[in-house]
Structures are given as C-alpha cells and as structure tokens.
Amino acid sequence: MIKIYSWIDGSVLHKGDFETIKELLEDGVKNGISFNYAKLNDAQLNNAELNNAQLNYAELNNAQLNAAELNNAKLNDAQLNDAQLNNAQLNAAELNNAELNYAELNNAQLNNAQLNYAELNNAQLNNAKLNDAQLNNAQLNAAELNNAKLN
C-alpha cells in the first residue's frame, strides 16, 4: 500500500495498491483528487500524466518530472526547487509564487503558463518555450534561457 501525505497535517491524501508513487498519483489525478499540500519531495515522476492536477502548495523539491505532462495543472505556491522538468509539458499551467530555484526546465513547454512572482533563480530553461507566458515580478537571477522562446 502506497500513500501520499499532506505536509501540512500529515493526513493521507490518497492511497492504493500500486507499485510506484507515480502510478498512485496518476490514479488520483485521473479521479479528480486534490493533491494540494502533498509531500512529494524526491518523487520519481518521469513521464507522469498529470494534466489538470491540483498540486497547489505541494512539495516537489528534487522531484524527477522529466517529460511529465502537467498541462493546465495548478502548482501555485508549490516548491519545485532542484526539480528536473526537462521536456515537461506545462502549457497553461499555473505556477504563481512557485519556487523553481535551481530547477531544470530545458526543452520544457510553458506556453500560456502563469509564473507571476515565481522564483526561477539559477534555473535552466534552455530551449524552453514560454510563448504568451505571464512572468510578472518573477525572479530569474542567473537563470539560463539560451534559445528560449518568449514571444
């Protein structure tokens, strides 16, 4: 039995007989379960299908989300420091006030994403696509944006 806990009060947000945390999370998202405040630090979520996920205030520090699908996901105030999101799909995702310091978002798709007040200090966004993204008051100190599309 695998469980996903809330970091705020330790309650179980979702549980089930799955082989991986990725399968459990995908099942929960598919069934409309909110993972707001989820504790998912260091989670192995590469190639996860998490479109429309509710992950506001979630802790995803050091998580592996390479090639994950997070289109239309809600990640407001989430912590994704040192997370790997290379080749991830985050189109129309909400990442307002999110922390993505030292995160890797190379070749990521963030078109129409909201990153207002987000922290992306020392993040890597090489070849990322951020067309029509909102970055009002975002922090990008020492971030790498080589060949990024910011139309």
Phi, then psi, of 22 in degrees rounded to 5: -60, -45
Low-confidence ranges of the chain (pLDDT < 50): none
- Residue 97 CA to residue 59 CA, distance in Å, equals 13
Whether 24 and 44 have beta carbons less than 8 Å apart is answered as: no
Please name the residue ranges forming H helices in the chain. 21-30
User: Looking at residue 151, what is its pLDDT?
Assistant: 74
User: Looking at residue 144, what is its pLDDT?
Assistant: 85
Neighbours of 47 (CB within 10 A): 14
DSSP letters spanning 95-115: -TT-B-TT-B-TT-B-TT-B-
Tell me how far the alpha carbon of residue 92 is from its chain's centroid: 12
Tell me the pLDDT tens digit for each residue of 4-26.
999 999 999 999 999 999 999 99
User: Looking at residue 146, what is its pLDDT?
Assistant: 82
User: Looking at residue 145, what is its pLDDT?
Assistant: 83
Q: What is the token pair recorded at 119?
A: 């922290």
User: Looking at residue 140, what is its pLDDT?
Assistant: 87
Residue 71 CB contacts under 8 Å (≥ 6 apart), including other chains? 51, 52, 89, 90, 91, 92, 93
Distance set, CA 123 to CA 54, 100, 106, 112 (Å): 23, 7, 9, 19
Residue 139 CB contacts under 8 Å (≥ 6 apart), including other chains? 118, 119, 120, 121
- Residue 10 CA to residue 146 CA, distance in Å, equals 41
